[in-house]
Structure 1
Amino acid sequence: MAPESAAPQPPDGTPQDAPEDYVGLGAQEAEQRARARGWSSVRRLEPDAIITMEYVVGRLNLAVDDDRVVRCWAG
């Protein structure tokens, strides 16, 4: 029998993780936690950054101000 992965993922590949739980964390800690929980890509942004709005499965976006996550969302 194959070992289970530590972070089960749904069929679309997005980890079952609540993005709002990252708000308030230090930027580096949030990135490390996201990768450990199965996010394949982590994007660090300034709070008012102009970005493209395409949805990327498995990506977590972190809006960071003064080295703290102030907003977080999938895609």
Structure 2
Amino acid sequence: MAPIPTPPAEPQDSPDGYVGLDADSAERLARQRGWSTVRSLPPGAIITMEYRVGRLNFEVRDGRVARAWKG
């Protein structure tokens, strides 16, 4: 029997620390900290709700991160 795959580890990083940063700096920082996918979205964007390990989402308003969350 094949072993059950282990999902990749998620960075030990709080999304709250990105709020208020300019979007480009926040994305660079997130990638440096190990996030494999960083998604920047406008306020009210319609998105899928599947959870993806290693993905960090930013809601960007006026060039700054207004909200950040995992998945």
Q: Paired residue for 1:45?
A: 41
- Structure 2 unaligned runs (5+)? 1-6
Q: Paired residue for 1:72?
A: 68
- Structure 1 unaligned runs (5+)? 1-10
Amino acid at match of 2:51: Y
TM-score by length of 2: 0.88
How much identity, in percent, do the aligned residues show? 63
Say which SS state the counterpart of residue 38 (structure 1) adopts. Answer: coil
**Whole-angstrom CA distance in 1 between matches of 2:9 and 2:37:** 12
1:32 paired with 2:32, answer no
Which runs of at least 4 in structure 1 moved beyond 2 Å after TM superposition? none
TM-score by length of 1: 0.83
Q: How many residues align?
A: 65
- Give the aligned CA root-mean-square deviation in angstroms: 1.0
